Every structure is written in C-alpha cells, then in structure tokens.
Amino acid sequence: MAVSKRKKFQIVSVIVLFLVGGFIFYKYFPEIWGDAIYPLAYQDQILASANEFHLQRNLIAAVIYVESHYNPTAGSGAGARGLMQLMPPTARGVAKQIGMTDYTDDKIYDPTINIRLGSAYLRSAIVSRNGNIDVALSNYNGGPGVAGNFQISMDRSILPRETERYIRSVKGAWEAYDKIYGTDWQGPTKPFEAPKEISFVSQINIKNLLSIFFNK
C-alpha cells in the first residue's frame, strides 16, 4: 500500500525534528555531553604546568587529548610515551633544560613529570617559532625540520598529512575544551554551568511542535 503524502510529510517532519533537536543539544548543552567526549583529568598537573610555562591550560589539555586521550601508559610504535607522547631523548633533553636533575627514563610515564616536560617542550616550540601556534604544533608533531620548512613557506599544503591533521585536531580540541570547561578553570573541575538566563532553546516546547505537524 502506497504511503500517503500526509504520512510522508509526518515521517520527514519527525526526522527533521530529531536532527534539529540533536543540533540544539550539541550546540547549547555541552555541559551535559562535553566531559564524556572531551575528558579533563590531571587538572592540578595541567594547571601547574600552564602557570610555570605560561601556556593556556586548555592548549595543554588539548595536546594530551590528541596525543593519548588521557592514557598515562600510552605508547606509540615510534617510541613516544605517556600522556603527551614524549620520545625518551626529547624528555631527557627537556628535563636537563629545565633543571630536573633527578630525571630518569622510567619516570616518563609519571603524569606529573610527563605533563611538565611536555608543556616545557611545547613552550619552547612556541617561543622558537615566534609565537605561531600552528608552526609550534607542527614542531611538536613533526619535528624541527618539518616546522622549519613550514615557518618559511607558511603553506600548509607542504606539511605531512599526519602533521596537518594533528594541527587541526589539537586546535579543534582546544576550542572544545574552552567551550566545555571555560578558559580559567582552577584545579579539579566539572563542566561549566549553563547561563541561567532564559534562551530560545529553553522555551522550545516539543509537544507543541509535534502538534503543528500532526494536528494534535
């Protein structure tokens, strides 16, 4: 039996309502879904390193998210280790630069040490690349050779695909962390509370919307 035009209209209307509802939920209620998708652990360590090395706390959080998804025992086939995926020689060099005299390779998985060394390395990359975050991130991911070529040309098309994707991923995560947790969270926290003022979203009445489409 053929589906009537009215029935088709009702089905399409329901689909549209679900899509609109999903978009509204995603855009206006990050305090509900945000921490499930973008977790924020090791807040004290991130905040301490952000203050020590003058970095945006959510930039560090975003790098950790992209590098390891907050798994302190993460490792890569290339040998990178820990939350911020540091190569052991890099970790040793950074530890020496910041005066960490008791550093040994077995400490690279320690979240406090890994975040401190990774943040110091990130800060060094930002300074050496004249504050350009994109170039600094290319340095963090692809190394100084890749970053040097990028800094000269400022042409993202010359970047390795992985590095170009890495820059986009970190910046996207950084924006998400800013939106979900705010930019000035202090220590262990939870997603921000939504503003109390009434918005058009809070005034949407789904029952009334359905009645428009189904004449109920």
- Write out the catalytic residue numbers: 67
**Residue 80 region by backbone torsions, left for phi larger than 0, else alpha for psi between -120 and 50, else beta:** beta
**78, 88 in Cβ contact below 8 A?**
no
Give alpha helix (H) positions in the chain: 5-28, 30-37, 43-53, 57-68, 88-97, 111-128, 133-142, 144-153, 161-181, 206-214
Please name every residue paired with 116 in a beta bridge, in sequence order, or none if there are none: none
Structure tokens at 145: 């050779």
Sign of the C-alpha dihedral, residues 45, 165, 162, 139? negative
Give the C-alpha separation, 152 to 146, whole Å.
10
Structure tokens at 26: 């995603």
Phi, psi of 86 (to 5 degrees): -95, 140
